[in-house]
């Protein structure tokens, strides 16, 4: 079999043009979000994730089904918020900022995931950041304990 110079150049060009796409696919993790279809703040948080380059899949859930999913996946009742995300083996509960999700994925601690309990005003999807109230992002350990992962002061 004889390979021409043109065939080699075409193959190299194809590989070179695909490399940036592969890098982008690795840089844009997918997060699956369970949320109440009627919740505006859940939609706002998902929109922020998409703006920040995450691929987001959504699943409608509410009531006892959603609560059971949270508890079955290691989210303690005291950490619960309105929506739950799953990304690369971690649970993301509530209005967790993108920077904290990225840090979690970079550091890869042995943990269930992150949570922002309740719905603090000014957290992502809950109103303007320049008017936020102070809140903490918690790292949920596998034994159910938690520790502060990041603290956000009031604006």
Domain ranges within the chain, ordered by starting residue:
29-152
Question: For residues 54 and 137, is the Cβ–Cβ distance under 8 A?
Answer: no
Q: Is 97 helix (H, G, I), strand (E, B) or coil?
A: coil
Q: pLDDT tens digits, residue range 81-126?
A: 999 999 999 999 999 999 999 999 999 999 999 999 999 999 999 9
Q: pLDDT tens digits, residue range 38-83?
A: 888 889 999 999 999 999 999 999 889 999 999 999 999 999 999 9
CA-atom Rg of the chain in angstroms? 20
Q: Give the N- to C-terminal CA distance of the chain in Å, as an integer.
A: 69
Please name every residue paired with 116 in a beta bridge, in sequence order, or none if there are none.
Answer: 94
70/115 Cα distance (integer angstroms): 11
Question: For residues 120 and 135, is the Cβ–Cβ distance under 8 A?
Answer: yes
Please name every residue paired with 120 in a beta bridge, in sequence order, or none if there are none.
Answer: none
Q: Show the tokens assigned to 13.
A: 């060009």
Q: Show the tokens assigned to 2.
A: 């004889």
| 89 backbone dihedrals φ, ψ, rounded to 5° | 85, 0
Question: For residues 113 and 149, is the Cβ–Cβ distance under 8 A?
Answer: no
């Amino acid at each position: 079999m004889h390979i021409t110079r043109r065939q080699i150049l075409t193959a190299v060009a194809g590989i070179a043009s695909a490399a940036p796409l592969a890098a982008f696919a690795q840089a844009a993790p997918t997060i699956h979000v369970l949320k109440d279809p009627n919740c505006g703040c859940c939609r706002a948080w998902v929109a922020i994730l998409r703006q920040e380059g995450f691929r987001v899949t959504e699943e409608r859930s509410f009531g006892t089904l959603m609560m059971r999913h949270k508890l079955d996946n290691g989210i303690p009742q005291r950490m619960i918020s309105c929506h739950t995300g799953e990304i690369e083996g971690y649970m993301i509960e509530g209005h967790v900022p993108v920077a904290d999700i990225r840090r979690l994925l970079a550091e890869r601690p042995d943990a269930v995931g992150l949570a922002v309990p309740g719905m603090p005003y000014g957290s992502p999807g809950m109103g303007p950041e320049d008017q936020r109230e102070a809140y903490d992002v918690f790292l949920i350990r596998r034994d159910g304990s938690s520790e502060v992962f990041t603290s956000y002061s009031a604006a």
